[in-house]
Amino acid sequence: MTSSELRERFAASLMPNYGVPPVALTLGRGCEVYDADGRQYLDLIAGIAVSSLGHGHPALVKAVAHQAATLAHTSNLFVHEREVELAERLTGLLGGDAKVYFANSGTEANEAALKLVKRAAGPGRHYFVAADNGFHGRSAGSLALTGKEAIREPFGPFGMDVRFVPHGDLAALTEAVDENCVAVFVEPTQGEAGVVPAPEGYLAGVRALCDETGAAFVLDEIQSGIGRTGRWFAHQEEGVRPDVLTLAKGLGGGLPIGACVGFGRFADAFGKGDHGSTFGGNPIACAAALAVIDTIESEGLLAHTAVMGDLLAEQIEGIDHPLLAGQRGSGLWRALELTGPHSAHVQEQAAVRGFLVNAVTPSAIRLAPPLVITPEQIGVFIEALPTVLDAAEAAATKENQS
């Protein structure tokens, strides 16, 4: 089956919400993937910061295969070992008084957080605050908190009072939050906005404001968590702790799992029957997540991610090209800042030359490679990047002339 044939079948049988993706993948090994025509690509997006260990990592394969052969599913009617072990590992990494609810995705983790803070809120609290251009998911509650008007407005109203403030603007946040606010939902770095970090000290400011007003501090680390920035969790850089933390993506290394972690009084805010999921905490997904955490520890991937991220940033900064304005981000979560709306052309020309990147906004390319990427692989990409940018510039010029 060729790539063209697979894409035709995709268009004929799947809803058009994704369009038709330009590349049809069939195989992955480490940081490299192959399409249906046998072409090799260096994967620099890792399923949107999901495939932490790359593709086909022996530890992940072994854990998933063993669990599938042992106990694949229980529902939430029964206890199983992997779920308990994973919850214990996460609370151990986070420290303090915490408990975990497992879901299947990031949006579900944020839905759980939304219900959790509502359940814990005192009388009179009735509105939420979130950030412009933030992204928390596409289900109704998570979408209500998502500050991207183009994807939110067509599906409203949501039956929630959500007030949006600029990302990283502590003064605007302070003005918006008072004793009537249920919770503040923020990301340490906005991934879907183009890997845009908040200013240094912002999370500490959010923590202080929530302490002052009694609003819950919900931190969405769906993309940034589980080693992506060179720490287990991005908020550890500032030494702050949210009231509720949401995780997904890299936690399962490719298997679908999300987590909502409540600290202090939020650990026990749910009562029996308040929330649930048939597949949440699935044994196979939990086994995969345990393998991810074990491998990050045993292979020293936190330190490796920090070093590789610095190397990637330094080498990008060393490129002088009219389309490239610079880079931003942390660890192996970076954006190429472009001088104009050229990201679609850059993504296309990168794929032509064997590199998978993500045109996350019109003027930003998101890079989130597997945490196991090597200096040599980064070097291959950096060597090719000026040629990719040249081709993108030529394509943009041709498009403008036509």
Same domain (yes/no): 137, 226: yes
Rounded distance between C-alpha atoms, residue 300 and residue 393, angstroms: 39
Rounded distance between C-alpha atoms, residue 184 and residue 234, angstroms: 17
10-residue stretch averages of pLDDT, the chain, 402 residues long: 96 97 97 98 98 98 98 96 98 93 98 97 94 97 95 93 97 98 98 96 97 98 98 95 98 98 97 96 98 98 98 97 97 98 98 98 98 98 98 91 80
Rounded distance between C-alpha atoms, residue 316 and residue 170, angstroms: 30
* Options 102, 128, 135, 217, the catalytic residue: 135
Residue 101 has what pLDDT?
98
Q: Enumerate the β-bridge partners of residue 14.
A: none
Rounded distance between C-alpha atoms, residue 139 and residue 151, angstroms: 11
Question: Which residues have C-beta within 8 Å of that of residue 350, sequence separation ≥ 6?
Answer: 356, 357, 365, 388
Same domain (yes/no): 215, 249: yes
Beta strand 333-338 with 364-367 is: antiparallel
pTM check: above 0.85? yes
128 included as an active-site residue: no
220 included as an active-site residue: yes
**How large is the C-alpha radius of gyration of the chain?**
21
Same domain (yes/no): 202, 330: no
Residue 96 has what pLDDT?
75
Same domain (yes/no): 209, 313: no
DSSP alpha helix (H) spans, 104-186: 106-120, 140-144, 149-152, 170-176
> Which residue range forms the structural domain that includes residue 383?
3-56+300-401
**Residue that is last in its domain, among 298, 333, 355:** 298
* Options 118, 128, 185, 220, the catalytic residue: 220
Looking at the structure of the chain, the number of domains it has is 2
Rounded distance between C-alpha atoms, residue 348 and residue 336, angstroms: 15
* Options 249, 263, 270, 355, the catalytic residue: 249
Residue 402 has what pLDDT?
75
**Residue that is last in its domain, among 279, 298, 317:** 298
Same domain (yes/no): 294, 305: no
Same domain (yes/no): 34, 158: no
Rounded distance between C-alpha atoms, residue 201 and residue 239, angstroms: 10
263 included as an active-site residue: no
Q: Residue 97 in 3-state DSSP?
A: coil
Same domain (yes/no): 41, 141: no
Residue 118 has what pLDDT?
97
Same domain (yes/no): 362, 334: yes
Closest among 34, 53, 33 to 43, alpha carbons compared = 33
Q: What share of the chain is helix, strand, coil (3-state, %, to 5)?
A: 45, 20, 35
